[in-house]
Amino acid sequence: MGRRKSNNTSSSNNQDSPFSNDMELHQPTKIRFPDEDDVALDAAAETSNHDESMCDVDTSVSVCDKPAEDPQCQPNVSIPDSDEKTSADYYFDSYSHFGIHEEMLKDVVRTKTYQNVIYQNKFLFKDKIVLDVGAGTGILSLFCAKAGAKHVYAVECSHMANTAKEIVEANGYSNVVTVLKGKIEELELPVPKVDIIISEWMGYFLLFENMLNTVLYARDKWLVDDGLVLPDKASLYLTAIEDAEYKEDKIEFWNNVYGFDMSCIKRQAMTEPLVDTVDQNQIVTNCQLLKTMDISKMGPGDASFTAPFKLVAERDDYIHALVAYFDVSFTKCHKLQGFSTGPRSRATHWKQTVLYLEDVLTVCEGETVTGNMTVSQNKKNPRDVDITLKYSINGRRSVVSRVQNYKMR
């Protein structure tokens, strides 16, 4: 994956979301994540991932939802031969190697937020039965066990489940944490109900890999009526950036490759969103809230939606791409906690999602780019995300109206 020369791996004093990594909300209340256990990580976390709002988030535009058309997952009866594997098989295979778990565990913003939510709210977990969906190495299950959970069921479909069992045993929690290997949709828990469901289900662009539907399935099947889903809120945002140099390198490159026309690849490259770290100085407009999902109440179809947007230029500049990012929050804690993956927050392994535009929009300060974004599961592979972007501008130097289609895969 390509990387920009200047990426936002350090923290910023600005913010682009309702949170900073010290988690600042739209309201003036600031919630910090003190690290009580590890001085080094606390020092690292002093830089907020929820910085002060990068821009005034416009929440006035309403969201128009549409139901999802496809189920989240097709069950696997057996492990097929390599030439018979589906993309769903490769999805689980990808989580069998320790490397991807190392990257996630070393994402301090992600892992420390979950740790702080659990350790600083032990009253939520004490003597409770917890279900960890997509447990990976079992780190969240271990946090819950240490916080006083009565029992934790850690469900993991990949071969990492075997390693998680070893980790649980090595740390002396075998009497509290039970690791179950399999798909949530296909296994039965040893208990009829659980008090809490915890999961780190978020993918690139929030919804890529479609693990959210698995969490919703578990919620509907096993969660008690007054139970908790953690995290319980997730929001998707949109902004616009100037990105001439990188677009030239990644997209326009195919027009002339050592004297040959390879523009057919350019057309393909334009349809695939780029997951990368965006420099906050590239941001040209405000940020627009597209969709907020209440994980404790939403239905599976709510993850497919059409949302309007209105982006207002904050300076004279050019727009080469729109950028999507997300926030998650834990609203049932004693103090509201969460994190942002936005360009002006501390970098996470999710980075941001860049959607390049066919047009270069020349914008003057105060001019608007309006449109709507439709997000849905891909019909052939529900773990992929289809995105349709409609945008227009009627400005002094740009008059454009276009529809573009993207596929995250």
Positions marked catalytic:
200, 209
The residue behind tokens 């990257």 is 103
Which contacts of 37-42 are long-range, i.e. CB under 8 A and separated by 24 or more positions?
37/115, 37/119, 41/108, 41/112
Alpha carbon 76 to its chain centroid, in Å, reads: 26
- DSSP type of residue 282: G
Q: Judging by beta carbons within 10 Å of its beta carbon (0-12, 13-18, 19+), is residue 360 exposed, middle or buried?
A: middle
DSSP string, 208-247: TT--HHHHHHHHHHHEEEEEEEES-EEEEEEEEE--HHHH
* Measured distance between the N- and C-terminal CA atoms of the chain, rounded to whole angstroms: 14
Of 73, 48, 55, the residue nearest 17 (C-alpha):
55
- DSSP type of residue 382: T
202 beta partners: none
Pairing of strands 368-377, 305-312: antiparallel
- Give the DSSP H or E segment for 269: helix 263-271
- DSSP type of residue 312: E
